[in-house]
Amino acid sequence: MSAILIKPSDRVFVLTGAGISAESGLPTFRDSDGLWAGYRIEDVCTPEAWERSPADVWAFYSARRAAGQKAQPNPAHTALAGLEKQLPGRFFLCTQNVDDLHERAGSVNLLHMHGELAKSRCERACGAEPVEDDRVYANLNEVGRCACGGRLRPHIVFFGEMPLGMDRIRREIRQSTLMLVVGTSGSVYPAANFVHWARFEGARTVYLGPEAPLNADAFTHVVEGKAGEVLPGLFHLEA
């Protein structure tokens, strides 16, 4: 397919999902019948799961940390970091991913709407900020507590919780003229709605992934392929 043109007047909003990290060896969420790395989401990624068994939740996220630390950014992460450098002040990256492969590839103007694997925060809404924490815990006794006494939980937005940074995301989408969505099935909300918000603002909307997402109809272009293979040559910048 021919390259997608980025004009000098364009502002680019990128949304990435689990698919962009697939070629780095991190399993997507729906790879095997709605499981994530062999787990049922409701057993490990919900407030109820945390209430029921913080040990199981930490076992799952400790395993994700271990896998994430071994993974390396792939050419799709690198291409987005390169695009940001070419579009100073006109590029914003929002990821649903909790791994840190985008920042390790060099992305800077980046928001993790579903949290970050390498941080923890108090389980209570006590006002304490999330803390850097990439430890892989062998059991619950190793997990620290906040000054208020609450147990530390992964800094992850569980299903049913409010995503992070929504005001900024809305603002960025409102200003954008081109939205690129990479490797997300279009089944997790509100992220699956971003393309509709962008269309409402008159933006061009491009999806890249090996299969059409559930919300494919909302895109002006659907490019079928693997992110690491297609993304590095997808855009042409008009001088």
Region near ligand NAD per CB under 6 A, out of 80-88, 146-154, 165-173, 209-217: 209-217
CA distance 217 to 228: 24
Phi, psi dihedrals of residue 91, rounded to the nearest 5°: -140, 130
CA distance 84 to 209: 20
Q: How far is CA 104 from the centre of its chain?
A: 14
Q: Are 75 and 93 in contact (CB under 8 A)?
A: no
Binding of ligand NAD by 77 (CB under 6 A): no
The residue whose Cβ lies closest to ligand NAD is 19
Residue of the chain from 12, 98, 110, 181 that contacts ligand NAD (CB under 6 A): 98
Binding of ligand NAD by 19 (CB under 6 A): yes
Residue 14 belongs to what H/E stretch?
A: strand 12-16
Binding of ligand NAD by 195 (CB under 6 A): no
Respond yes or no: is residue 155 known to be catalytic.
no
Binding of ligand NAD by 198 (CB under 6 A): no
Residue of the chain from 6, 14, 18, 118 that contacts ligand NAD (CB under 6 A): 18
Tokens representing 169 are: 């995301």
Binding of ligand NAD by 187 (CB under 6 A): yes
Going 175 to 178 to 182 to 188, the CA torsion angle's sign is: positive
Catalytic annotation, residues: 114
What is the binding site for ligand NAD (CB under 6 A)? 17-23, 26, 28-30, 36, 96-99, 114, 182-185, 187-188, 209-211, 213, 226-227
